[in-house]
Amino acid sequence: MSDNLFTPIDASLDTSYDFSRPSTSYWQDVWRRLKKNKLALAGLFIIILVAIIAILGPFFTAYSYSDQDLKIANQSPSLAHWFGTDNLGRDLLTRVLYGARISLSIGIVASISTMVIGVLYGGIAGLAGGRIDDLMMRLIDIMWSIPWLLYVILLMVVMQPGLTNIFIALALVYWMPMARIVRGQILSLRELEYVMAARLAGAGSWRIIIKHLIPNSLGPILITATLTIPDAIFSEAFLSYIGLGVSAPMASWGVLASEGATSLRSYPFQLFFPAIAICITMLSFNFLGDGLRDALDPKMRK
Amino acid sequence: MLQYVSKRILSLVLVLYIVITATFLLMHAIPGGPFTAEKKLAPEVLRNINARYHLDDPLWQQYTDYMGNILKFDFGPSFKYQDRTVNKIIADGFPVSLQLGSLAVLLAVAFGIPAGIIAALRHNRFLDYLVMSSSTLGISIPSFILASLLIYFLAFKIKLFPAAMWNGFSYMILPSISLAALPMAVIARLMRSSMLEVLSQDFIRTARAKGVGQGLLIYRHALKNSLIPVVTYVGPMAAGVLTGSFVVESIFNIPGLGRHFVTSIYNRDYTVILGITIFYSALIVFFNFLVDIAYVLLDPRISLDKKGEN
Amino acid sequence: MSFKKFLSLLIAITLTGAFLTGCTSTGNKDSSDKPVRFGQLGEPETLDPRKATGQPEGQFLLQMYEGLTAYDADNNAVPAAAEKWEVSADGLTYTFHIRQNAKWSNGDQVTAQDFEYAWKTLLSPEIASRYAEMLFYLKNGEAYNSGKVKAEAVGVKAVDPNTLEVTLEAPTPYFPQLTACYSYFPVHKKTVENNADRTANPETIISNGPFKLTAWSHNEKAEFVKNENYWDAGKVKAKKLEFSIVESNTTRVSLFENDQIDLTLDPPPSDVERLIKEKKAEITPHLGTYYYSFEVEKAPFNNPKVRKALTLAIDRSAIVKEVTKAKQIPAGAFVPLGIPDAAKGSDFRNIGGDYFKDNDIETAKKLLAEAGYPDGKGLPPITLTYNTHEGHKAIAEALQEMWKKNLGVQVELTNQEWKVFLKTCAAGDFQIARDGWSADFPDPMTFLSLFVSNNGNNHAHWKNAQFDQLVSQAKTTTAPASRVKIMHEAEALLMEEMPVLPIYFYTMTYMIKPNVKGFVHTVTDYIYFKEAYVE
């Protein structure tokens, strides 16, 4: 379909047809549909629970994350230490609780920043198409090809260790797959009839992106965003290897799990507890993500 | 099409040029060099070494020399492995990574796509939940933990597979599962979601109303249209998996390229860093090109050499 | 692992604790058909003895080549490629007589020219050997390497095919031991001269040791077979060696416990306790000290009292027993156990004794108060830096906790990637940093000369004129008794000033199958497979 067959209606005319429904009922609608999805609700519930435990939990244990007792190092789970103890005799349960704070915030911040940057970038590239799209995609190719480790080491040298650094290091890479996915979606969506129709009706680019293209690409966007969370949590463990992570003795889930993986043969419980914590959280995020996808999807509305 | 391809090749060269330059500068910017050792070398010894590898030349000259050599496809000698060239290291390591990676990609696609389709067709029913839960597990367990667990249970506890090394097919199974788990899970989810998306669209409803059979419907209409996000993902993923994974190759002690990619940076083995980066980015660009071609094949409405409309 | 300097290699054995494992009995004929499978620590950087620098190379080269001397089962340096040698009265000239029946793997005679060629090319600026320093003992070795004199001036000369004359820069009583190290190995001049690449691949390597390398798959595995042309081939029991090249320590444990290798070393700390309990591992001495450096140029560590307070307030016995678990020895001084003192059979460490008490919190508190920081009050923030490694991390965390509990001193921990860490140490860009040193050779000097003002490895940047003077005095003193006495004085001064915080003396953990016999391992973690076999 070539563009010059049609001429846009004068946008000043008040006859412009609004293809979207009023937004007031939209979110109520989403919530109504989300409530019907049991798994998603369970996911949401567990996430809130984990967040509460992460915030308040450490106040209720008898130990601190750094209290050592070398005599009881590497003990299996017991009544005194539900999750057992680590190589310096620290209570593993307490360390997992503290680790939740770090890892949850890393996961959430990483996936939100990924979403914002990636959706904008990919959206613009896909919609603009042609030369701009080409240029923007080549830029991703370039950034993706330069070894991440190199700029992470540089970042470590320039800055002090801490959470901000990790956020930057993670945001530097994770937006790229998201941008690619969004751009691919937009490329295929923008040719669809209803987008054409909206455009013909005089809707501006931004309006098309926000009202039509993004809601219709929400599936892959949410999937990629929820994928980013576990990835970010474990990348943090790698970053702490370079020296970018939170300083010992504080430890994130990723660090606890990767240290547990090396002692798997001798003290399997040191891997299982942090790994189970991560898995449960991830399952919840994914169920919620799937539920949200279904709830937000305009085509699922009745 | 020809014009498009030549344009892409031109842009590949440009991309590579920028990648090389940026990597070159970055690796010289980070602390430590190839000969920074725990026990410091005597100054005269270090001087001889620097002269031999031309590291005493000004940086711009090292850069132009390097660029000149690349045009001859000569990536230079490794600083760490003194008797090996970068070309040789890539030639040794890549076939191994390629072999392992292909098996992993195959596994991921062969199981991921059908799982996603089944889940979509059985939306909100038992099979859907099964696929979704196991794929979530696949996403939540990173390869180093999965690999450790596989070795612990399948090699150590029940002696089903070798724990590590690279000696034939039985040695490939555990590492390729470790590599494939994540992409398989991602593909299943992407497939399911875009399949659901497509199934709810008007043309499918129309086809259904016209009485097109389920199998044909999926095959002819839904599958093709829902593959776009999967293909977008598979492109760079395949490039990544085929060039090898540091974690999996280290844990299973596989002599692939992935290990060199990371250890060369720790060793500050400048030539190896650059050589593998170039190789890797050429591969990435090539795979993304394949992805764009696939778009056109899958959806005739997408055209690649169209000018921007806005 | 990175401390391994091979100079320590064989010299160390003669005097200290290398030992023969298992019995040296004559294994039955069938047993030698089984290959000996070894888990090698890393990929060799090269197999040219002239360019080799570390443990992975040494482990290969020791099986493939043989120097003028070698070590026997009782850890004596004995004639190897040379059948005997003489020393001149001034200790400067050595004349080595090369065995008539010493043969290369292709049947050629091993000649004095092969040695002369190898040593001179190693020192040449063109080859730019990273281990050139190893041959600076030769007269004009250093001068030739820095381009000041021609190759002819270097103190090594083949008088005839069987006689090698070596002139040294200074008397070096342990020179025969040095020639057992791989930097002093010969190369097959006839082939290498025209094509240096011939030392790189199993197809072209011609070697003169007990085994020939037949296959080498990079970063994966290597195979050696018995060298039938070796002059002492009768003593070589195994027909074949199989090396798996495994960098990851957890993977080495997996392979060992999965019966894919027969012996290996250095498991991760978390497995040591279990492996010992299951009788899968043995612990052997290793000549080295694990310590921390204080950056003494900046407050508060410019005050020796603060340094001492932190040093005393540590429970080393607890660290060794509960954290590292490989029977390391708590350090009460800097020079480790295992170095001979002047009197025969005595140990430098035992004579010198401990310079401070372990876990002496009382004194530590007093010193800290005297320094003006009672109960840690008023101390500026302190950061402890270590390179990323699970073992270093655990010790750093333990120290942090002990200082907090015992002295009320708050310490932050920072970890860095290895080469970044090396730069940090060299630049003095830290307050307290993890450090360590393994023997160059079993003499207190290798440890003490570290702290001379201009030494590049003196990360504490500690400068003391009196100490410098004592060290140079010891270097020029030849009478053993007075030399050792001066070194004891130097160590006492070092411990008085405490620019470093000693923690423990190293050990090494070996994983060995009970049916592996006849191999020799050294205090510097090298293994000789010449007489090894699997029962």
Query: Residue B74's pLDDT is what?
Result: 92
Q: Which residues in chain C are contacts of A87 at CB distance < 8 A? A: 269-270, 323, 394
Q: Which of B211-225, C114-128, C185-199, C381-395 has the lowest mean pLDDT?
A: B211-225
Quote the pLDDT of residue C413: 93
| Residue of B207 and A90 predicted with greater confidence | A90
Q: Go through the domains of chain B in sequence order and give each one's CATH number.
A: 14-71 (no CATH), 94-266 (1.10.3720.10)
Whether C434 and C453 have beta carbons less than 8 Å apart is answered as: no
Interfacial B residues in 71-100 facing A (CB < 8 Å):
none
**pLDDT tens-digit series, residues A107-156:** 889 999 988 999 889 988 888 888 898 899 889 989 888 888 898 888 88
Which CATH number belongs to the domain containing residue C125 in this structure? 3.90.76.10
Higher-confidence position of A175 and A302: A175
pLDDT digits (tens, 9 = 90+) for A62-73: 788 888 888 888
pLDDT in tens, C31-52: 457 899 999 999 999 999 999 9
Asked whether residue A16 is assigned to any structural domain, the reply reads: no
Kindly state whether residue A78 falls inside one of the protein's structural domains.
no
Report the gap between the CA of A224 and the closest CA in chain C (Å): 31
The C-alpha atoms of residue A227 and residue A220 are separated, in whole angstroms, by: 10
Closest CA to B132 of C501, C330, A40, C109: A40
C5 CB neighbours in chain B (<8 A) are 39
| pLDDT band, very low/low/confident/very high, at C409 (cuts 50, 70, 90) | very high
Is residue C290 domain-shared with residue C185, that is, in the same domain? no
Q: Among A112, A120, A136, which residue's Cα sits nearest to residue A285?
A: A112
Which of B32, B148, B259 is nearest residue C422 as measured by Cβ atoms?
B32
- Report the mean per-residue pLDDT for chain A: 81
Q: Which of B190, B261, B308 sits opposite A220 (nearest CB)?
A: B190
Determine, for residues C270 and A263 on separate chains, whether the beta-carbon distance falls below 8 Å. Answer: yes
CB atoms B189 and A223 under 8 Å:
yes
C111 part of a folded domain = yes
Q: Do A68 and C413 touch (CB under 8 A)?
A: no
Q: Which residue of A has its CA nearest to C248?
A: A262
Neighbours of chain A (3+ CB pairs under 8 A): B, C
**Cβ atoms < 10 Å from Cβ of C292:** 26
Residue B304: per-residue pLDDT: 60
Residue numbers of A between 143 and 202 with CB closer than 8 Å to C: 153, 156-157, 161
Q: What is the pLDDT of residue C459?
A: 93
SS3 assignment, position C99: coil
Give chain B positions within 8 Å (CB) of A180.
232, 236
Contact A241 C416 (CB under 8 A): no
Would you say B259 and B186 are in contact if contact means Cβ atoms under 8 Å apart?
Answer: no
User: Which residues of A, range 13-72, sit inside 8 Å of B by Cβ?
Assistant: 39
For position B206, what pLDDT does the model report? Answer: 76
pLDDT of C20 reads: 35
Answer yes or no: do A66 and C273 touch at CB < 8 A: no
> Does some domain include residue C99?
yes
CA–CA gap between residue B137 and residue B119 (Å, rounded): 16
User: Using 50, 70 and 90 to split pLDDT, how confident is the model at A16?
Assistant: very low
Report whether C379 contacts C310 (CB < 8 A): no
* pLDDT of C97: 96
Give C407→chain B minimum CA distance, Å: 32
- Asked whether residue C458 is assigned to any structural domain, the reply reads yes
**B222 or A12, which is more confident?**
B222
What chains are in contact with C, requiring at least 3 Cβ pairs below 8 Å? A, B
Does residue A170 sit within a domain? yes
Of B40, B156, B255, the CB nearest to C457: B40
Interface of B with A in 1-30 (CB under 8 A): 11, 14-15, 18-19, 22-23, 26-27, 29-30
Instruction: Answer whether residue C218 is part of any domain.
Output: no
- Number of domains, chain A: 1
In a domain, C395, yes or no: yes
C394 contacts A88? CB cut-off 8 A? yes
Residue C158 structure tokens: 């083949």
DSSP, collapsed to helix, strand or coil, labels residue C38 as strand
- Residues of chain B scoring pLDDT < 70: 1, 212-215, 217-220, 301-310
The predicted pLDDT at position A4 comes to: 53
Tokens of residue A50, six digits = 């984990």
pLDDT for C363: 94
Residues 6 or more apart from C41 whose CB is under 8 A from it? C1, C55, C56, C59, C246, C247, C264, C265, C266
Q: Assess whether C301 and C192 both reside in one domain.
A: no
User: Least CA distance to A255: which residue of chain C?
Assistant: C390
| Residue pLDDT, tens place only, C338-381 | 888 888 778 899 999 999 999 999 999 999 999 999 988 889 88
* Spacing of C-alpha C69 from chain mean position: 19
A161 contacts in chain C (CB < 8 Å): 414
Write out the residue range of the structural domain in which residue A196 sits.
33-61+89-300
CATH of the domain at C366: 3.10.105.10
CB pairs under 8 A between A and C: 79
| pLDDT at residue A297 in the model | 66
Query: What is d(CA C510, CA C346) in angstroms, rounded to the nearest whole number?
Result: 27
Q: At a CB cut-off of 8 Å and minimum separation 6, what does C55 contact?
A: C1, C4, C6, C41, C42, C525, C526
Query: Would you state the torsion angle of the CA atoms of residues C111, C188, C144, B32, taken in this order, to the nearest 10 degrees?
Result: -140
Which two three-digit tokens encode residue B216? 């044909």
Contacts of A72 (CB under 8 A, 6+ apart): A81, A85, A89
The minimum CA-CA distance between C437 and chain A, rounded to whole Å, is 23
Q: Does residue C17 have a pLDDT over 60?
A: no
* Alpha helix stretches (DSSP H) within chain B: 2-29, 43-52, 59-71, 86-121, 126-140, 143-150, 169-199, 202-209, 214-216, 224-242, 246-251, 257-267, 270-298
The answer to whether the CB atoms of A142 and B233 lie below 8 A apart is no
Q: What is the pLDDT of residues A238-276, one digit of tens each?
A: 888 888 878 888 888 888 988 888 888 889 899 999 888
**Residue A94: inside a domain:** yes
Q: Is the dihedral of CA C272, C277, C282, C285 positive or negative?
A: positive
Q: Which of A185, A258, A261 sits opposite B229 (nearest CB)?
A: A185
Residue C520 has pLDDT above 70, yes or no: yes
Cβ pair B250:C247 closer than 8 A: yes
Is A296 part of a structural domain of the chain?
Answer: yes
User: Whole-angstrom Cα distance, residue A251 to residue A262?
Assistant: 16
Number of domains into which chain C is organized: 2
Among B6, B20, B145, B225, most A C-beta atoms within 10 A, so best to mutate, is: B145
pLDDT at C4 over 70: no
Mutate to test the interface with B, among A104, A119, A135, A145 (most CBs of B within 10 A): A145
Clarify whether residues C186 and C332 are in a common domain: no
Q: What pLDDT is attached to residue C16?
A: 36
- Whether residue A211 is predicted with pLDDT greater than 80 in this model: the reply is no
For chains B and C, CB pairs below 8 A equal 129
In the prediction, which pLDDT does C72 show? Answer: 67
pLDDT digits (tens, 9 = 90+) for C266-313: 999 889 989 999 999 999 888 899 999 999 998 899 999 999 999 999
Asked whether residue A2 is domain-assigned, the answer is no
Pair of tokens at residue B204: 């499918």
Distance from the B290 Cα atom to the nearest Cα atom in chain A, whole angstroms: 13
Chain-chain contact of C251 with B250 (C-beta, under 8 angstroms): yes
CB atoms within 10 A of CB C492: 14
Closest-CA residue of A relative to C415 is: A243
Chains touching B by CB (3 or more pairs below 8 Å): A, C
Instruction: Report in angstroms the alpha-carbon separations of B264 from B32, B94, B269, C36, C309.
Output: 13, 15, 5, 31, 41
Of all residues in chain C, what percent carry a pLDDT higher than 70? 92
> Do the Cβ atoms of A131 and B23 come within 8 Å?
no
Distance CA C21, CA C13 (A): 14
How far is A227 from chain B, CA to nearest CA, in Å?
A: 7
- Whether residue C168 is contained in a domain is answered as yes
Of C198, C228, C250, which one is at a domain's C-terminal end? C198
Q: Which residues contact A128 (CB under 8 A, 6 or more apart)?
A: A136, B308, B310
d(CA B263, CA A241): 13
* Residue A175 located in a structural domain: yes
The CA distance from B118 to B114, in Å, is 6
Instruction: Please indicate if any CB of chain A lies within 8 Å of the CB of B128.
Output: no
In chain B, whose CA is at the least distance from the CA of C436? B38
Any domain includes A177: yes
Is C40 part of any domain? no
**Mean pLDDT to the nearest integer, A75-80:** 84
Domain that holds residue C332: 285-508
